Amino acid sequence: MTEVLRYAAFTTDPAGGNPAGVVLDAAGLDEPGMQAIAAEVGYSETAFLWPTDPAAGRYRVRYFSPLAEVAFCGHATIASAVALAQRDGPGALLLDTPAGEIAVRTEEQREVVRASLVSVPTRTRPIAADQLSRLLAALRWSPDDLDPDWPVHIANAGNDHPVLAAATRERLAELDYDFTALGDLMREHRWTTVALFWPEDERTVHTRDPFPIGGVVEDPATGAAAAAFGGYLRGTGRVPRPRQLLLVQGEDMGRRSELLVDVRPDDPRVTVSGSATPLPA
């Protein structure tokens, strides 16, 4: 019988963070089998790992939401890395994902295991006007709900994510979108989540990530979108020097998550860091 571990990522509190399923040895599972397990677990993603060179810390990974496979999932990567560190000890990992090779490092600090992943090279581009119009309609936002100082882009760190800045914290908190319309639009353009954000100050950014194409209204922590957001900052000229940001996500859901994002002007890759804690089966 396949053992599925359960972790909350980007938190040390089991009541916070984003739950992820983790299968550390998925040998023998085919795609329908992995999809069935992910649907049964019911979390936004479950990661399935195969050791390809365990002595070198190298694993193949695939990620499934309850409805479909995704190319990359940050919170399930953090959860998987912490699970491996707790089983085998902390250190360096190389994960071969459908989005590309992801380097991860784990370390133990005061009895808490933290993991840092380095994304594939990020990229970002302005959203097309017709796509933005349909996206705002699906979100039930108006153009006035956007902060004009932040252009709307499609950012990628393995998956495409529209990135939109809310004009106020209140607008971000009042998330009430058309689940069907947004899901259809995201499937049409192969967007994975929609990254909504409001910058509190130069370091702290509040974020929310609708995920209807995964069968989930909202993710309480999204490492892939956090990496894409770092690429968005770099691509829009907001990283003149190395920056570290704290992304606070899940707060409006009652599952606060904290994601550290490190961005450099000379490197298109983004580092996303956080902890994870086991959940009861």
Decide if 37 contacts 29 (C-beta within 8 A): yes
Measured between alpha carbons, how far is 98 from 109 in angstroms, rounded to an integer? Answer: 31
CB proximity list for 48: less than 8 A, separation 6 or greater: 23, 26, 29, 34, 37, 61, 62, 63, 64
Beta bridge partners of 191: 160
Q: Among all chains, which residue has been given the structure tokens 């409006």? A: 252
Sequence-ordered alpha helix ranges (H) in 72-151: 74-88, 129-139
Amino acid at 42: G
Among 3, 31, 40, 45, the active-site one is: 45
Residue 73, classed as helix, strand or coil, is: coil
Q: Is 45 a catalytic residue?
A: yes
The position carrying tokens 């017709």 is 130
Q: Catalogue the active-site residues.
A: 45
